[in-house]
Amino acid sequence: MTVSASRPSGHHQLPLLPTHPSSRSASVCHFRCGDACAQPVPNPSDNAYFGDVLRASLSRRTVLAGGAAAVVLGSVTREVVQAPAAAAAHGGSLRFDAIDPVPRTVDAVTVPEGFAWNTIIKWGDPILPGAPEFDFDGQTPAAQAGQFGYNNDFTALLRLHGRNHALLICNHEYTNDNLMFRGWTSFSAETVDQIKIAMNAHGMSVVEVSRRGSRGTWRHHERSRYNRRITASTPFAITGPAAGSPLLRTSADPAGRRSLGTINNCSGGVTPWGTILSGEENFNQYFTVPGPPSDPKVATGYARYGIAGTGREWYRADPRFSTANEPNEPHRLGWIVEIDPFDPTSTPRKHTGLGRMKHEGANISIAPDGRVAAYTGDDERFEYLYKFVSRRTFRRGGSRWARKHNMRLLEEGDLYVARFNGTPSPEYDGDGEWLPLTRDGESAVPGMTIDEVLVWTRLAADAVGATKMDRPEDVEPSPFTGKVYAACTNNTSRTPSQVDAANPRAANKDGHVIEISETGGDATSTTFSWKILIVCGDPNDPSTYYAGFDKSQVSPVSCPDNVAFDRAGNLWIATDGQPESLGYDDALLAVPVRGPERGRTRQFLAVPTGAETCGPVVGYDDRTALVAVQHPGDVSGASPAAPASVFPYDGTGQPRPSVIQIRRADGGAFLA
């Protein structure tokens, strides 16, 4: 394997909150989600837990000892694949040898032998005219507004002029203020300028990139007419049935149709018409709530979304972030947003039809009748999996008029939430149904208006009896089979009373990946079947499951987060939490989902200490993979005076979230 490492020692300690896992960085929770894991679970409904369904399914699986092992599911025996030696050596269609897991203290990017990596763009690199070069000790709000943002997450690469010119699009989820500013102690001690810098470091970036031939390395263009920064202050149009709702109106926007900014953008997706979808996730932590709302419905909504406390105190730079000033402002965040990266003058949009929640992202499938389905997960413990089905149909062809039509597909349609049932079949672990929340522009939930369903979608899903799940994050349909893969990252809050000895485990720290098959292969269907692809964790743990593959030949994977597909149909999994769950740096792994190597998980990459693996791009071509290295050096006690990482090793002596490229050193293809 190839590594590059440097790790200074000595750290300033951030205190752990009482219910933080003792092995987890307090900084990770504090800055990413506003200490959500230290708060009570904001889902008081009596709906079924996905663990109840999964437990019933996995309790039917017994690994038989001796000879050719087998998995028994109901009355059906499934053979566990014993990989042939040749396949083990050559890795099937994947042309790399799996690397060993990397201890979480290693400050290195680790890739397989025969591969190399390079940095494409870093936090603070100038991308707009007039933006200065990055100066860690000379940051200003104006500079950051023209520079690449912080904590890059979802990443997309869209062809521009031939395959060697492209647009790189990145989300900037949140900021680690303690690693950005020297002497940082608390949000309340930040200056107004520091708050404005953080606000401008959120959002999204669009950057032109190019390479010299398909074997070359991608380089970003500091000056391009396509380059763009979208921040916490960029104007957005509000679309869909809730646009104009009284729940979305503020003093600055009495019509409720135009909002400012997008924040905590986590994952996303690329639409078939060439736009980007991005999910607003932990938006609640940015608001200061001096007192409970006078309207009891609004108070219930606040509680269900965790809107409470002092937050990041952004109201000191912008009064709309205090609910005393604007009680409806929190309702204007938590949406799926769509941007057109090819038109830097276009107004991005927030699609209310897809519901409001802590969206991880959204990904599109085109149904046989031409309508599109958008799948999305709500990334919090015991939350739900959703699907939006458009009213209009997709128009093929590259004409301007077809694209203009397609860009309105997410404005009208029906919203559903998933209920998983445990009824097994010879091929599946269970079945399920999509429960309607909206239908034909009206509420399908008794006692709730269409506005209330879309603004307080969690409450609507509670009411119809959706299935509680373990932090459903990225949800992506395979472009080859149409099957949908949902990454459930973990749920350490699951108690023994909610599970039993048959699995899943109480305090589920490792997560799992679910494979969903829509009835008839139709993404608009209201029923589906499902099976477990992977029950994650140490393969030596008997409770883990790797699609029936021989676990002596798999790499461990824990806390699956982002997923993506390569051009051969293999699923790639980016992890978020392995340092705490397994003691390893977070990773990128590949796993075939079809054929004799289904379930054979292989680790391709490890990111530096304290970092999360985000936004893998593996389907652009066969010769390049991109990874967003998020929050490097984010470990308890780290600070600019004592950094835990100096990735990307650029001489600044400070960690800088960056997008990197990985390729074969000989320029060859990843896939056989």
Q: What is the pLDDT of residue 504?
A: 53
Cα–Cα distance measured from residue 560 to residue 470, given in angstroms and rounded to the nearest whole number:
11
Residue in the block written with tokens 């205190």: 15
Query: 17 pLDDT exceeds 60?
Result: no
**265: how many CB neighbours lie within 10 A of its CB?**
27
Q: How far apart are the first and last CA of the chain?
A: 20
Cα–Cα distance measured from residue 407 to residue 181, given in angstroms and rounded to the nearest whole number:
40
Q: What is the pLDDT of residue 35?
A: 67
Cα–Cα distance measured from residue 453 to residue 356, given in angstroms and rounded to the nearest whole number:
9
26 Cβ contact list (under 8 Å, min separation 6): 14, 15, 16, 17, 20, 636
Cα–Cα distance measured from residue 632 to residue 656, given in angstroms and rounded to the nearest whole number:
7
- What's the rounded mean pLDDT across residues 426-439? 93
Query: 14 pLDDT exceeds 70?
Result: no
328 Cβ contact list (under 8 Å, min separation 6): 247, 248, 249, 250, 256
Structure tokens at 401: 């008029």
Q: What is the pLDDT of residue 645?
A: 98
Q: How confident is the model at residue 6 (pLDDT cuts 50, 70, 90)?
A: very low
Residue of 210, 228, 114 lying closest to 170 (CA atoms): 228
Residue 561: how many CA atoms within 13 Å on its side-chain side?
Answer: 24
Query: 306 pLDDT exceeds 60?
Result: yes
Least confident window among 135-144, 232-241, 296-305, 489-498: 489-498
Q: What is the pLDDT of residue 498?
A: 59
Q: What percent of the chain has pLDDT over 70?
A: 85
CB 205 within 8 A of CB 172: yes
Structure tokens at 396: 């093929």
Structure tokens at 160: 């521009």
Q: Residue length, the chain?
A: 672
Q: What percent of the chain has pLDDT over 90?
A: 78
Rounded to the nearest 5 degrees, what angle is found at the Cα of 89, between the Cα atoms of 85 and 92? 95
- What's the rounded mean pLDDT across residues 398-417? 96
User: In this structure, what are the phi and psi dihedrals at residue 236, rounded to the nearest 5 degrees?
Assistant: -125, 145
What is the SS3 assignment for 116-139?
EEEEEEECCCECCCCCCCCCHHHC
Q: Over the chain, what is the mean pLDDT?
A: 88
Q: What is the pLDDT of residue 508?
A: 82
Q: What is the pLDDT of residue 28?
A: 64
* pLDDT tens per residue, range 98-155: 999 999 999 999 999 999 999 999 999 999 999 999 999 999 999 999 999 999 999 9
Return the CA Rg of the chain. 23
Give how far Cα 262 sits from Cα of 222, 232, 266, 336, 349, Å: 23, 5, 11, 10, 10
Q: What is the pLDDT of residue 369?
A: 98
Cα–Cα distance measured from residue 628 to residue 612, given in angstroms and rounded to the nearest whole number:
8
Give how far Cα 315 sits from Cα of 165, 195, 217, 339, Å: 41, 9, 42, 26
Instruction: Measure CA 575 to chain center.
Output: 10
* pLDDT tens per residue, range 443-500: 999 999 999 999 999 999 999 999 988 889 999 999 999 999 999 988 877 666 655 2
Q: What is the pLDDT of residue 49?
A: 59
Structure tokens at 481: 């089979």
Q: What is the pLDDT of residue 425?
A: 86
Cα–Cα distance measured from residue 80 to residue 69, given in angstroms and rounded to the nearest whole number:
6
CB 276 within 8 A of CB 156: yes
Q: What is the pLDDT of residue 398?
A: 84
Edge to edge, the sheet with strand 571-575 lists: 560-565, 571-575, 587-591, 602-606
Cα–Cα distance measured from residue 48 to residue 54, given in angstroms and rounded to the nearest whole number:
11
* pLDDT tens per residue, range 35-93: 666 566 676 666 665 555 555 555 554 332 222 222 222 222 222 233 333 333 333 48
Least confident window among 194-203, 290-299, 495-504: 495-504
Q: What is the pLDDT of residue 44?
A: 66
296 Cβ contact list (under 8 Å, min separation 6): none
